[in-house]
Amino acid sequence: MKRYRHEFDKGWSRRQMAGLGLLEVVLAIAIFAFGMLALVQLQGNITRAGADANTRTIATGIAEEIIERIRAYRKVDADPDNGLWDYKELVGTALDGTVPIGDLNFNVAATITDYWWDPDDEEFVGTTNGLPPDELDHLDKSSYKLLQLDVSWGNREFYVDDTNTGDLATGSITIYEIIPSSPPILGAKVSAEDDGLPGSPPVEYTPGDAPDIIALNFGDGDRFKESTSPTPDIIRAGELAETWFDVVTYSGSADDAVFLRREEFVIVSCECELQAASDPGDGGFRPTTWNGYDYTEGEFVDNKNFGVSANNQQSPFCSTCCRDHHDGGTGEQDGDYEDQRLVYNPWAASITPGSDHPHYSRDNQGDLEPASIGDTYVEACRLIRHDGFFRVAQDFNQKALFAFPEDYLDNSSEVGEYSDYVIGAVTEFVEDDLTDLTLPPDMNPPYVIPASTTDNATSLPTLFGDEQQLRSRGIYIDYVTDEAQDAIDDCVDGADTCPNPAFTTAVELYPFFEVQLTWLSTWTEVEANFPVDVTSEPVEDDNSHDRGRAILQEGGTGQSEVKSRIHKGNIGFSATDSVIPEDGDDASFGEYLLYIDTADGPTPPQNGVLVSGDIQSGVSGVRAADVGIAFQNAQCNRTVTGFTCIVPNDSSQATLTVSGYHKANTTLYACSAEMVILSSQQAPNDNWTTFILPTYEIDTIEISIQSSACP
């Protein structure tokens, strides 16, 4: 029995083991099947979610495009015979419609509510609070409209709800936007014609007032061009550096002007990290260029170096700037690449087709050195709004800089004289294919800006005191390809291909801009001549800095020469440090001399030595251009890149103090191998260093802002 029991146990054990193996297999299959079902469902959900997200992205894009067009209306008062959409005609039913994209039909529906500003009660009123429009007859027009834009869709092939596959995929988005009765400076796309799309209203424009906003008359008395604000809007917030301005071309009288086009710009200074194109999709866009009547976005090209933003504290536009501001790559325009100079700086002495322009890093002392892949480099870009988005355009190219006393351009005759000169000079440039602006030979009498010679110098003191605000303005002209020039000629000849109204002169279609530069220019007195001091403070947010204010010095007599100076390219507008070594060359700057008489008689001789140098920053996010100076027992100027001082030949110790450099959670130092530090302070938001100025003539002093202690 004992033996039998043993064999029985062994047999039962084998059968038991075989049964357990089969059960495990069955359970594994069941678990796997359930897992696969869950995975299939997950994949379906992912696919549906991705398709739904893509659909919503398309719907958002449609809504944004319509809003951009709505914000670009071209008249305020309704005029059913003019063929142009206007502010008063912005009603919901006019914006309703269907936009088919692929297998999707996007239905657009708008609700517009009018609001009025009641000057009697000093409050906003509108239809939403029960006041009908007929009770608001004493008000001219609504102050703004609230737009509610609904975009819904249905899909004939893809079904979002898999539990009911007979239903169409549906969804909707709602976007709100405020449309003011006067278009904002940061308004979007302005079409020159009504292209028939839903919500494509073209804006009445009120020309600005002298002296800061100057309307340039194209010669027929009916077409003008001007900036829409007195000065570019400078934004400085920590490491953020942006400058905004726009220029509008309009037709009609000052009481009934209509937009022809608007160019809106933002200039940014950025820190980028250099990347090499390694995959087929790596690259960026070629520059946005002028095609004869509008800006055209460049194509995206492969095999082109690119950059990424290297600082999350800088302008959000730096991502686009870093990515695109590179030459080279492969694309459809290769055949025209060299001839048409489709690069970001077409005025460079030489361009090698397919290659990138150099980029530079800064070392610890702020000196520029060539950047390699993976290095951080400095950049400055001009971006222009096109179809509601900012694209990187070719660099600015200044062709003329002027400076004049504060009372010039205060009356219509002076504005007319200045306008005739600008239009005449640009016309000569366009028609004769010149490289620089020249005085139009047919101007009678010849154009002479006040204070531009010793014979027509301005004076201090004036009737209003011992100070005078000087002003400067510049003219910039974009590069124009042969194809763009042909398109301009066709428009002037009245060709059907021209999308704008017929023009009479090519200059109306030429991409040039006349800009007020007073608070971007650097102002200095010519060395060894200081009866007048001119302010030139570091650039501050909202133009709160002081530049170009001429102040009569105690005991100052004779004639003083004052210089206005600004870089001709992008960094002139960004008011930041150099991005390439050539930025420091004199040829890269525009400058203009003004003469100021302070009293009869010769200028007293300045008894001293000339001491000058540069200020550089080797600290990420800290701009040398924002460093300020103060002085004692000397006469100093803050120049574009540094400083210039006259140190008297006496026993007094002359000092120069630099300040305004700081970075959160970082200790910074101002160092110089040529000067001795008298005292300094390193504080989070109040760094300054005082140097003892040399008593011998020297023009090679370097002050570096750095994060390491001075040797």
Among left, alpha and beta (phi > 0; psi -120 to 50; other), residue 292 is left
Chain center to CA of 271: 15
Query: Can you tell me the mean pLDDT for 469-483?
Result: 92
Distance set, CA 575 to CA 128, 226, 240, 640 (Å)? 47, 22, 12, 9
Query: Can you tell me the mean pLDDT for 411-432?
Result: 89
Q: Is the pLDDT of residue 190 over 80?
A: no
Chain center to CA of 337: 25
Q: What is the structure's pLDDT at 206?
A: 61
- β-pair partners for 284: 301
Cis amide linkage into residue 133, ω under 30° from 0: no
The 3-state secondary structure of 449-504, one letter per residue? CCCCCCCCCEECCECCECEEECEEEEEEECCCCHHHHHHHHHHHCCCCCCCCCCCC
> Chain-wide mean pLDDT for the chain?
79
pTM of this structure? 0.73
Q: Is the pLDDT of residue 254 over 60?
A: no
Alpha helices in 150-243, H assignment, sequence order:
none
Query: Can you tell me the mean pLDDT for 69-88?
Result: 59
Q: What is the structure's pLDDT at 509?
A: 87
Amino acid letter for position 189:
K
Higher pLDDT, 43 or 227: 227
Q: Is the pLDDT of residue 534 over 90?
A: yes
Query: Can you tell me the mean pLDDT for 563-592?
Result: 94
Contact between 580 and 637 under an 8 Å Cβ cutoff? The reply is no
Q: What is the structure's pLDDT at 212?
A: 80
Instruction: Say whether 298 sits in a helix, a strand or coil.
Output: coil
- CA 631 to CA 645: how far, in whole Å? 9
Find the Cα–Cα–Cα–Cα dihedral 688, 613, 467, 404, rounded to 10°: -140
- CA 327 to CA 470: how far, in whole Å? 39
Q: How confident is the model at residue 183 (pLDDT cuts 50, 70, 90)?
A: very low
Q: Is the pLDDT of residue 275 over 70?
A: yes
Q: Is the pLDDT of residue 159 over 80?
A: no
Query: Can you tell me the mean pLDDT for 81-91?
Result: 63
Radius of gyration of the chain (CA): 33
Q: Is the pLDDT of residue 663 over 80?
A: yes
Instruction: Say whether 329 sits in a helix, a strand or coil.
Output: coil
Q: What is the structure's pLDDT at 334?
A: 45
Sequence-separated (6 or more) residues with CB below 8 Å from residue 183: 71, 72, 73, 203, 205
Short-list 583, 704, 625, 664, CA closest to 311: 664
pLDDT (tens digit per residue) in 319-368: 899 999 998 877 554 444 445 567 899 887 666 766 888 999 999 999 99
Q: What is the structure's pLDDT at 606?
A: 62
Q: How confident is the model at residue 241 (pLDDT cuts 50, 70, 90)?
A: very high
